Amino acid sequence: MFVDEVIVRVKAGDGGNGCLAFRREKFVPRGGPSGGDGGRGGDVVFYASEHYNTLLHFRFNPEHSGERGRHGEGSNKTGRNGASIEVPVPIGTLALDAETGEVIHDFTIPEDRFTIAKGGRGGRGNQHFATPTNQAPTHHEPGRPGQERRIKLVLKLLADVGLVGFPNAGKSTLISRISAARPKIADYPFTTLEPNLGVVKTEDFRTFVVADIPGLIEGAHEGHGLGIQFLKHVERTRLLLHLVDVSEMSGREPDQDFHIILKELASFSEELSKKRMFCVATKMDSAQDPERVEKLEKAAKALNMPMFRVSAVTGAGLPELLRAVAAGVLPPRPEPPG
Residues of the chain with pLDDT > 90, as a percent, come to 59
Distances in Å between the Cα of 224 and the Cα atoms of 156, 209, 212, 250, 271 are 21, 28, 19, 19, 22
> How large is the C-alpha radius of gyration of the chain?
30
Q: Which residues contact 59 (CB under 8 A, 6 or more apart)?
A: 1, 3, 6
Specify the pTM: 0.79
Domains of the chain, each with CATH number or no CATH: 5-155 (2.70.210.12), 161-329 (3.40.50.300)
Residue 52 DSSP one-character state: -
- Rounded to whole angstroms, the Cα distance separating 240 from 279 reads 9
How much is the pLDDT for 321?
A: 94
What are the start-end ranges of the E strands in the chain? 5-11, 44-49, 63-65, 85-90, 93-97, 103-107, 113-117, 148-155, 161-165, 196-201, 207-212, 239-245, 277-282, 307-309
How remote is the C-alpha of 93 from its chain's centroid?
2
Q: What pLDDT, in 10s, does the model give residues 72-122?
A: 999 899 999 999 999 999 999 999 999 999 999 999 999 999 999 999 999
Q: Order the strands of the 5-11 sheet from edge to edge.
A: 63-65, 5-11, 148-155, 93-97, 103-107
Q: Chunked in runs of 10, what are the mean pLDDT values of the chain (338 residues)?
A: 86 96 79 92 96 89 96 94 96 94 94 96 94 90 96 91 90 89 64 80 88 84 73 90 90 91 89 90 88 93 94 91 91 64
How much is the pLDDT for 157?
A: 86
Strand partners, 9: 63, 150
3-state secondary structure of 85: strand
How much is the pLDDT for 258?
A: 94
